[in-house]
Amino acid sequence: MKISSSTERKIIYSVLFIAVALPLLFPIGWKTDVSGYTRMAYDLIEESPDESVVLISFDYDPSTMTEIQPMAEAQIEHAFKRNQRVIATALWPMGVQMAEQAFSSVIKNYPDKQYGIDYVNLGYKVGGMVTIQAMGRNLSEVYPADQGGTPYAELPMLKGINRLKDLAWISSLSSGTPGLKEWVMVAGDSYGVPVTGGCTAISAPGFFPYVNEQRQLYGLLGGLKAASEYEGLIDRIGPATMKMDAQSIAHLLILIFIAIGNVKAYVSRRRVAQ
C-alpha cells in the first residue's frame, strides 16, 4: 500500500485534531505533579508581606495567550489572596488588553477589589530594556498617567512607590523580546528586585540558567503545564487545569507518531540494505 505524502499529512492532521478535541469534550481529570520551579515562584509571592505593592508585566500577545493567560490570572488571584496590590504594565502593546482581560476574569471572585486601590493598569511603553532601566530610576517619569489618563500621583495605591526598588516582587509574563530576559537583567540583576515570571514552554529551557543561587530569577512558570500546577497550588480550578487532559493525550500521540516513523524508517532502511 502506498500513500502519497500529502495524504499521509492530512491523515496525521485529522488524527491530531480528534485526539485534542475528544478530551476537551469528555474530560478525564488526571492529576499532575508540581515541579520545583513552579513552587519557587509560588513561594516568592506567598512569602511577600501583606499590603506590599507588586508588578506584573504583560509581555505577550494573543498568539500565546492560551499558555500565558492562565498564569496571569493565577498570579493576580494569588496576589489578591495575599492582599497584595498589583500594578500591571506591558512591554508589548497587546499586553494591555491581556491585562484587562485577566483582571476582569479574576475580579469576579474578588468583587471588593477596587481599581486604583488594589490594582492599576499602567499600560504599554515602548523601549524594552531601556524603559525598564528608566522605571528603575523613576516610575512616574515613564508612566505620567494610567490607561484612562489619571495622573500617577492621583492613584492611591502608588503613593510611596517611586521606583522598581519599592516593589515586593516583579513578574514578567513573557512570550519573547522584550520580556522576562530584560526584566531579569535590569530589574533583577541591576536594581535587585526579586523577579519571577512565566513564559511559553518554548523559551522555558533557555531561562532555567537564571534560576540559581544568585537568585537572578525566583522560579519560573514554563508553559501550560506550569500554569496548571500553579492553579493547583492556589486551589483554583482554572483554564489551564481544564486543558491538561488534552495536553497529555496529544503528547502521547506525538510519541506514537515518532515511534511509527522510526519503525518505518528502520524497515525501509533494511529493505534498501537487502
Instruction: For the segment 148-207, give every residue that binds other proteins (CB under 8 A).
Output: 148-149, 162, 184-186, 188-190, 200-206
| Residue from 3, 117, 126, 267 in contact with other proteins (CB under 8 A) | 126
Structure-block grid coordinates of residue 75: 498570579
Note whether 197 and 221 are within 8 A (CB). yes
Q: In this complex, which beta carbon is closest to other proteins, that of residue 85 or of residue 243? A: 243
Contact 41, 220 (CB under 8 A): yes
Minimum distance of other proteins from residue 240's CB (angstroms) = 9
Verify binding: residue 61, other proteins, rule CB under 8 A.
yes
By CB under 8 A, is residue 142 in contact with other proteins? yes
Q: Is 121 helix (H, G, I), strand (E, B) or coil?
A: strand
Contact between 52 and other proteins by CB under 8 A: the answer reads no
Does residue 40 belong to the site contacting other proteins (CB under 8 A)?
no
Site string for other proteins, 76-115 (x = CB under 8 A): -----------------xx-xx--x---------------
**Residue listed under C-alpha cell 492532521:** 13
* Listed residue (268, 80, 61, 28) closest to 173, CA to CA: 61
Nearest one of 74, 102, 108, 107 to 89, comparing CA atoms:
102
Select the residue interacting with other proteins from 1, 4, 5, 50 (CB under 8 A): 5
Member of 46, 237, 251, 267 binding other proteins (CB under 8 A): 251
The CA-to-CA distance between both ends of the chain, in Å, stands at: 20
